[in-house]
Copies of this chain bind each other. A is one copy, B any other.
Amino acid sequence: MGDDSEHIDGRKARGNRRRAEIIDATLAVVTRDGAAGVTHRTVAKQAGITTSLSTYYFATLDDLLVAALSSVADTYTTRIRQIIDGSEDKLRGLAELIVQSAGPGRDHALAERELSSLAARRPALAPVARRWRENVGELAATLTDDPEAVAALVAASDGLCTAILIDNAPADPDYVHRILARAIHTQPAGAVQ
Chain A positions within 8 Å of B, measured between CB atoms, are 33-36, 110, 113-114, 116-121, 126, 129-130, 133, 148-149, 151-152, 154-160, 162-163, 165-167, 169, 175, 178-179, 182-183, 185
Contact: B120 with A110, CB < 8 Å? Answer: yes
- Check if B163 sits within 8 Å of A179, measured CB to CB: no
> Which of B133, B152, B156 makes the CB contact (< 8 A) with A167?
B133
Give the oligomeric copy count.
Answer: 2
List of B residues within 8 angstroms of A158 by Cβ: 155, 158-159, 162-163
Nearest CB in chain B: distance from A187 CB, A: 10
- Distance in Å: Cβ of A167 to nearest Cβ of chain B: 6
Which of B34, B120, B163 makes the CB contact (< 8 A) with A151?
A: B163
- 18 further interface pairs, Cβ-Cβ under 8 Å (given A113-B117, A152-B182, A182-B185): A33-B121, A34-B120, A35-B36, A114-B117, A119-B166, A129-B166, A130-B166, A130-B167, A133-B163, A133-B167, A148-B178, A148-B179, A151-B169, A151-B179, A152-B179, A155-B156, A155-B160, A183-B183
